[in-house]
Structure 1
Amino acid sequence: MQTPERIIRLKTVLARTGLSRSTIYRKIAEGTFPAQLKISTNGAGWRESDINRWVAHPVEWRAVNDNEDPGGKAGNHDAG
């Protein structure tokens, strides 16, 4: 049986990445950090596997993400 995907909250993401809150949200907007998942009306979190992959290869994360999510949220930014 496969273990369900673990969702982690901002405090844990901050501790694991060493980034500030503002840097995380800037990187999400740039497409260079995993986006949050909405888990309730007022709550959001990240897939632990996404954060682990980013920590292992932060510079390469965008390319991996673009390959996995063609036409999705990654790289889908307005030019102006």
Structure 2
Amino acid sequence: MPSKNTSLPPEQDTLVRLPIVLGRVPVSRAAWWKGVKEGRYPAAIKLGPKTTCWRSSDIDKLIAELASAK
């Protein structure tokens, strides 16, 4: 008899676009992209030539890090 997996499924991570990110992280668009380039902010996920997203969990983690640094 196969063993039954009783673990919960991994939490689904949503992808958010830049306007949502900037609504949660109070920086300008230019400052955000500079931070991404310098590695201070999470790397973008390219879904297509004109579609860029970030994992909501990465944004949540960034906000927690910024809050704890104060």
| Bigger radius of gyration among the two | 2
Runs (4+) of structure 1 exceeding 6 A deviation are none
Q: How far apart are 1:59 and its partner, in Å? A: 8.3
Note the alpha carbon deviations across 1:8-62, whole angstroms, 9 max, x for none.
Answer: 00000000001110000011111100011012232010000000000111388xx
Q: TM-score, normalised by structure 1?
A: 0.67
Label 1:17 to 1:25 Cα distance change in 2 as closer, same or farther (>3 A).
Answer: same
Structure 1: state its 5+ residue gaps: 61-80
Q: Which amino acid aligns with 1:52?
A: D
What is the CA RMSD across the aligned residues, in angstroms?
Answer: 1.8
Of 9, 13, 23, which aligns to 1:5?
13
Structure 2: state its 5+ residue gaps: 1-8
Aligned residue pairs, count: 60
The structure carrying a bigger strand percent of its residues is: 2
